[in-house]
Structure 1
Amino acid sequence: MPSVLSQRRKPVSPNHVSELRQLLHDTSAELRTSTDVDYDRSVARWSKAAVKPAGLVVVPTTTEEVSIVVKYAAEENLDVAVKGGGHSTAGASSTDGGLLFDLDKMRTVRVDSDKKLFIVGGGANWGDVDQAAAPYNLATVGGTVADTGVGGLTLGGGYGWLSGLYGLSIDILIQCTVVLANGDVVTASEQNNADLFWALRGAGQNFGVATEFIFQAFDVSPDVYAGLLLFEPTPHNIQRVTEAVNRTYAINSAGQIKVAGRGTGGMGFMRPPGLDAAMIAVPIIYFGTAEQGQAVYRDFFDLDPKISTMSMVPYAEINKFLAPPYGLRASMKGAAFTLPLRPAFVQKLFEEYQKFGDGNDDAQGSILLWELLDTRKVTELDAGSFANRGTHGNVLICPIWTKPENDAAYREWARHINEKFKKELADHSGEEVGPAVEVTTIRGRKKATQFYGNYDHYDEKSKDIFGDNYEKLQALKTRYDPGNVFNKLFSISPLAN
């Protein structure tokens, strides 16, 4: 197989289209070029800023069809991308002139209620899983936005509303079916191809096209106590809300936390539709009764929020109430933080957020959110190559805008805010900050990169994301994808021959 180090990826040519049509003529796979009616739907993305014009879209219906095309693309050195949910704001599910797999016709979910398993097609999104599971009162660790793809989120680690109880998506992943760069179809699990299974759980986009996932499912109540609290962003409120966050989510000296795995959500800033001003937003999801949730989150309710939408809602709905609309321009830039938060820092970030919104009329929907959960379960477990386990949390820096001419400037704003979080960690976290940070865990010591690879990291390299796991991943990459066919998200370089 050719090395990507010496050969650039080719765009798709008319001859490639013709040859693939011949290879797939007895199958149900669909080929779409720019003149076909559904082409635009295939290249559309959650963020318009991530849209690229694929040279050819392949819409497979089976794993065997994926295998035929992957083998051909590798032999022809074509640029390859894979679209599940299309939520990558880094453009990792898009290709400029190359071959795009659109897995929309592999959007299946089967529920084995007896064994408590979900068997999920590679093109499904988390809303599909939620809806299929609802009649059985089952759930698994999925995303926090319904139209996020199952594959992309899982292969990058996968935080979800249930992470406080069960860990990451990769922690409850039982098996994965993958098409490798040479076209081979393999199943990976703890029992079969265990080294590949390790790599897939955190760096999976580098190793193939995942066409099926099997997840462990868990019993959930049909209704969850959830909603949004909004506060006027006065300095006094910022102080009090920040203190409530610390009391509710910080792990105390005895290793306990008030939410005890059942409460999750966040704290941040947004401009809700219908309101003219920026607000402090506190989303809450509590797996229990309203009375239990009100007791756990009493510190917030006692602050007299301006607006509260808290109520008992169906579990399948909680992945919808924070979802920004599809088809704007956005960047989901990641950062990290540790508790307790400093009110002065939160105040400074609000001033930055307000200044950005006031100065840019097309960016009013932008969000800055500290993601809050009980981190003990994520930290305790150690499945896969995911390198970001620790007691720190993730931050979503999410400029959302409409004008293409502002792409570079608004990404630069996200970078600017990210640098402030890095400085805050260095100056006030009391922990070492660097590419491989020692963090105390329940099971001992381990390294945490403090970079969540499913978010955008403009300046970080793959070694930064995968930390101490990078060299082992390189060795596995050399074995499973020596030509670096799959290279779109934090590409892992195969070792030189």
Structure 2
Amino acid sequence: MNKYVWNTHPSGLACHQALPPSLSMLFLAAATVTNLILTPSALAGIPRASTPLYSRSYLDVCQQIESTVSNASDVYFPGQVHYAQGIKHYMVTNTQLSACVVEPGTAEDVGKILTIIGSTRTPFAVKGGGHGSNPGSSSTEGVQITMTRFSEVTYDADAQTATIGTGLVWDDVYETLVPQGVNVVGGRVTGVGVAGFTLGGGYSWLTNQHGLTVDNVVSFELVKPDGSVVTVTDSSDADLFWALKGGMNNYVGHRHEIYSQDVPSRSSLGGLLTYTAGKLDDVAAATAKFAAEVTDPKAALITTANFVLGQPGVSQLLFYDGPNPPAGIFDDFLAIPSFTKDVDTRDFVSLVQAPPSDIQANQRGIFNVVPVANLSVNVINALFNESKFWGERLQLKSGSFISYDIEPFLPSILSHNTSPSSWPPTREKTYYPQNIYFSWTAELADDVFFDAARQSAAQVTRVALQDGQEGVDTAAPYPNYAIFDTPLELLYGDNLPRMREVKGRVDPDNVMSLAGGFKI
């Protein structure tokens, strides 16, 4: 099995809170992980051009897998009940008709599957939550492996760790751990998968207090491309452990478990506000003030400038790790007349599920990212302006949702690591990821939206440079937001040669090149 380990800590309910200094969080790291330890309308709307007929040779490989794996695993073919769910992704742009869907039930079966795939050189993909946007990053015309059966969440109170299966989304994890008074540093909104989120770095509501998700990983249990099952820690294989923390799906065939240290879970204040077009300037000013003045590590927010149904607006998420935030932290936002308001004391599950979920599911979509050194007034205004500029234009091209996430963090967030990681390539300066998310319906418009996401990121970067923010044009983008053609040299910088050395050692036959995503 593949596992990640996270540490946990008893307490009340909380979204993401500080760990005691003696605790650290462990997260997910390898290509095929089935569990973590931490402190069918799927075919609807899939365009024909995105779903070519699968190859006869791929079907032969599927049948070979079916005859080789144990009864703990299953193989599904087109037309069977579980096939549609197996290939389904949040965004249609990352959904393909595969020759078959394989649901492994044991790490040993994962090893058998990888051995067959590697020997036949068959394209494959591994899907955890299926929330990524880049085409082909977790989908394939060949063998679609879905980690659904790796769905364990257990808490070890003595070790203060949680074991988390990589077939889960973070909602599942919180629903198990929070009633036990513990939590882990995971995703901030509903529906995000454990596996990909962790392998790409991981920004959490608790990042101000505990760092990135990869900073809290203490071990990975995984299946290597040669089919062997290993547990990777900083002491057992420091180079591979380092490479896995941010290296995405380049090093192992499957992840199945993550082990991570825990954090306390207690009642928090948070939720969602929405604002209409007339309040945009007020929200932008409140966001700039928060980014400049609030230093309490328990406080966090995401201001999302949207263009939807022909109108600009804002979705405002607030979070404080505790039921009683100090006066003044969110007052500016709460004083602005809102269209809707759902901010209250709540547990972490309720907080993560406060925003509407799956509104843009089963549409086409793409993420892109702008790293900035400072969320200045000029940069924030630029992000708001971009949402209106592109919203007005892209709605004419079937654009249904044009969104810019403004995400302030403290400059100390990269200081919480207890061991090095392959991403970010440097921790000497902190850059903050601002997410661009476009959603649309017409397949013929794909390149229009991809190019618009690139142009928009470039424009915000120009504004940041004009604002005196040195290095933003060469800063490493956040892998989980980065668009598919982002250069590896930009993502990983001077770490890339070492990452390639590790890759050559653990995957000498280059099996992982048969899967999509950013390839080392």
Q: TM-score range by the shorter chain?
A: 0.7 to 0.9
Q: How do 1:423-438 and structure 2 match up within 5 A? A: 423-435=462-474
The whole-number CA distance in structure 1 between the counterparts of 2:113 and 2:512 is 13
Instruction: Answer yes or no: is 1:420 the counterpart of 2:446.
Output: no
Instruction: Answer yes or no: is 1:215 the counterpart of 2:215.
Output: no
Q: What is the TM-score with the length of structure 1 in the denominator? A: 0.85
SS of 1:106's equivalent in the other structure is coil
Q: 1:312 aligns with which of 321, 345, 360?
A: 345
Is the Cα contact below 8 Å between 1:107 and 1:125 reproduced in 2? no
Which residue identity does 1:270 align to in structure 2? N
The whole-number CA distance in structure 1 between the counterparts of 2:383 and 2:477 is 20
- Encode CA deviations 1:370-410: one digit per residue, 9 max, x unaligned: 12232412345363111265432111111122333332222
Q: Closer, same or farther in 2 for the Cα pair 1:124/1:231, shift >3 Å?
A: closer
Which deviates more from structure 2 when the two are superposed, residues 300-309 or residues 457-466? 300-309
Q: 2:319 aligns with which of 285, 288, 294?
A: 285
Shift of 1:333: 1.7
1:132 alignment partner in structure 2: 176
Which deviates more from structure 2 when the two are superposed, residues 369-378 or residues 48-57? 369-378
1:345 alignment partner in structure 2: 382
Which residue identity does 1:298 align to in structure 2? D
Q: Closer, same or farther in 2 for the Cα pair 1:100/1:308, shift >3 Å?
A: same
- Encode CA deviations 1:36-79: one digit per residue, 9 max, x unaligned: 22111111100011111222221101111101111121121111
Instruction: Answer yes or no: is 1:328 the counterpart of 2:363.
Output: yes
Instruction: Answer yes or no: is 1:400 the counterpart of 2:439.
Output: yes
Q: How do 1:59-98 and structure 2 match up within 5 A? A: 59-98=103-142
1:118 alignment partner in structure 2: 162
Which residue identity does 1:411 align to in structure 2? F
2:12 alignment partner in structure 1: none
The whole-number CA distance in structure 2 between the counterparts of 1:149 and 1:11 is 31
Is the Cα contact below 8 Å between 1:109 and 1:129 reproduced in 2? yes
2:392 alignment partner in structure 1: 355
The whole-number CA distance in structure 1 between the counterparts of 2:95 and 2:143 is 14
Q: Closer, same or farther in 2 for the Cα pair 1:92/1:157, shift >3 Å?
A: farther
1:15 alignment partner in structure 2: 60
SS of 2:500's equivalent in the other structure is helix
Is the Cα contact below 8 Å between 2:138 and 2:517 reproduced in 1? no
Q: Closer, same or farther in 2 for the Cα pair 1:29/1:458, shift >3 Å?
A: closer
Shift of 1:481: 1.1
Is the Cα contact below 8 Å between 2:202 and 2:212 reproduced in 1? yes
Is the Cα contact below 8 Å between 1:12 and 1:99 reproduced in 2? no
The whole-number CA distance in structure 1 between the counterparts of 2:363 and 2:283 is 30
The whole-number CA distance in structure 1 between the counterparts of 2:432 and 2:412 is 11
The whole-number CA distance in structure 2 between the counterparts of 1:119 and 1:300 is 38
- Encode CA deviations 1:153-205: one digit per residue, 9 max, x unaligned: 11111111111111111111111111111111111112212211111100031
Shift of 1:422: 2.1
- Encode CA deviations 1:236-277: one digit per residue, 9 max, x unaligned: x54443332233223xxxxxx5242111122231257xx873
Shift of 1:32: 1.4
Is the Cα contact below 8 Å between 2:111 and 2:223 reproduced in 1? yes
Q: 2:332 aligns with which of 269, 278, 299?
A: 299
The whole-number CA distance in structure 2 between the counterparts of 1:230 and 1:102 is 35
The whole-number CA distance in structure 2 between the counterparts of 1:345 and 1:93 is 30
Is the Cα contact below 8 Å between 2:310 and 2:395 reproduced in 1? no
Is the Cα contact below 8 Å between 1:399 and 1:410 reproduced in 2? yes
Which residue identity does 2:286 align to in structure 1? A
- Encode CA deviations 1:403-449: one digit per residue, 9 max, x unaligned: 333322222222221111221232224312443xxxxxxxxxxxxx3
* Cα root mean square deviation, aligned: 2.3
Is the Cα contact below 8 Å between 2:370 and 2:457 reproduced in 1? yes
- Encode CA deviations 1:76-121: one digit per residue, 9 max, x unaligned: 1111210000112113444432222111111221112333211011
1:476 alignment partner in structure 2: 502
- Encode CA deviations 1:316-346: one digit per residue, 9 max, x unaligned: 1222233443322221222222222316524
Q: Closer, same or farther in 2 for the Cα pair 1:204/1:354, shift >3 Å?
A: closer
Instruction: Answer yes or no: is 1:179 the counterpart of 2:215.
Output: no
SS of 2:149's equivalent in the other structure is helix
- Encode CA deviations 1:348-376: one digit per residue, 9 max, x unaligned: 3243144136535x433332111223241
SS of 1:130's equivalent in the other structure is helix
Q: 2:91 aligns with which of 47, 50, 54?
A: 47
SS of 2:407's equivalent in the other structure is strand
The whole-number CA distance in structure 1 between the counterparts of 2:132 and 2:215 is 22
Q: 1:456 aligns with which of 453, 467, 482?
A: 482
Unpaired segments ≥5 residues, structure 2: 1-54
Q: Closer, same or farther in 2 for the Cα pair 1:12/1:53, shift >3 Å?
A: farther
Q: Closer, same or farther in 2 for the Cα pair 1:195/1:308, shift >3 Å?
A: same
Q: How do 1:91-170 and structure 2 match up within 5 A? A: 91-170=135-214
The whole-number CA distance in structure 2 between the counterparts of 1:102 and 1:36 is 15
Q: Closer, same or farther in 2 for the Cα pair 1:35/1:280, shift >3 Å?
A: closer
Q: What is the TM-score with the length of structure 2 in the denominator? A: 0.82
Which deviates more from structure 2 when the two are superposed, residues 412-421 or residues 133-142? 412-421
Which residue identity does 2:350 align to in structure 1? E
2:420 alignment partner in structure 1: 383
Is the Cα contact below 8 Å between 2:95 and 2:136 reproduced in 1? no
% same residue: 22
The whole-number CA distance in structure 1 between the counterparts of 2:212 and 2:136 is 21
Q: Closer, same or farther in 2 for the Cα pair 1:341/1:482, shift >3 Å?
A: farther
- Encode CA deviations 1:131-163: one digit per residue, 9 max, x unaligned: 010211211110122321111111111111111
Return the structure number with greater relative CO, CA threshold 8 A, min gap 6: 2
Is the Cα contact below 8 Å between 2:303 and 2:317 reproduced in 1? yes
2:519 alignment partner in structure 1: 491
Which residue identity does 1:356 align to in structure 2? R
Instruction: Answer yes or no: is 1:193 the counterpart of 2:221.
Output: no
The whole-number CA distance in structure 2 between the counterparts of 1:365 and 1:351 is 11
The whole-number CA distance in structure 1 between the counterparts of 2:158 and 2:498 is 37
Q: 1:370 aligns with which of 402, 406, 410?
A: 406
Which residue identity does 1:408 align to in structure 2? D
Which residue identity does 1:490 align to in structure 2? F
